[in-house]
Amino acid sequence: MLDDLTLWGSTNKVETAISRLRRFEPEEGYYVATSGGKDSITITELARMAGVKFDLHHNLTTVDPPELVQFVRSQPEITIERPDHTMWELIVREGIPPTRRIRYCCRVLKEGGGIGRTVVTGVRWAESTRRKATREIIEGCGKYDRMVVNPIVDWTDYDVWQFIRERRLPYCKLYDEGFDRLGCILCPMARRRLRLMQAERWPKYYQQYLRTFDRMIAKRKADGKKNAYGSRGGDTAQDVMDWWLSDQPRPNKAQGLLFDD
């Protein structure tokens, strides 16, 4: 199962991942961070197979798909971490929706867990070229005073699904509806096609984003900041949404400023 052929022979990825977990196991046990997605399902099962001590944690983002939250809550012995601020509050406070470069939402809603612990994640190189270049099997994180272990960092999507099916592990039903990524609804890191699918699948969240953009615009105006789109025209919540879902870069002064700070 999950044998990887190399110049030096065959390597069993499951055995390798289990070995990694056993090698770095801290005395107090691991803090396993789970999103409820396929990678999190995999690392949780591997931790059980490895026989290491661990506790399971999920950070609510307030914009998680309802079906995913339901699946997460069905997991045994899981701790649900609630954020100090909702996504809606953060957007108004920051004065701009989160973007690929401005990811304040991850910092506030997802990355603060496991302070002072050794955290296990399902990060994989196959997810992006940036992760391939920057992520390692074990990492230090001085900002949050923690160590991070990524036992399946070298697994492919195929490896993950093969493992889930061979182990007959339950998973969120959204995967069977065509969603290949189960992150936050309308997350700017997702592909546009997926974000449009999410907007159609969860229209109440789409409308909540629009109401939040209205509040964001009103606060910017009250603070004396501009919202003019210039050549893009308009200054409404729908204008913000259309730009946000377009995957277009933030307009510069030559194009007409979207957000003038």
| Residue 8 pLDDT | 55
Query: CB under 8 Å, gap of 24 or more: what pairs does 221-230 form?
Result: 223/95, 225/95, 225/259, 225/260, 225/261, 226/257, 226/259, 226/260, 227/258, 227/259, 227/260, 228/256, 228/257, 228/260, 229/256, 229/257, 229/258, 230/255, 230/256, 230/257
| Residue 1 pLDDT | 59
154 phi and psi angles, rounded to 5 deg: -100, 15
Side chain identity at residue 16, one-letter code: T
| Residue 228 pLDDT | 52
**Which residues does the chain have with pLDDT short of 50?**
7, 229-233, 253-257
Dump pLDDT digits (tens) for 74-113: 988 899 999 999 999 999 999 989 988 889 998 888 877 8
Q: What is the DSSP string of 113-143?
A: TTTTSEEE----GGG-HHHHHH--SEEEEGG
Interatomic CA distance for residues 162 and 2, integer angstroms: 8
Tokens of 80: 């649900």
| Residue 15 pLDDT | 95
- The domains located in the chain, with CATH, are 3-177 (3.40.50.620), 192-244 (no CATH)
| Residue 172 pLDDT | 97
Side chain identity at residue 170, one-letter code: P
| Residue 76 pLDDT | 85
| Residue 202 pLDDT | 97
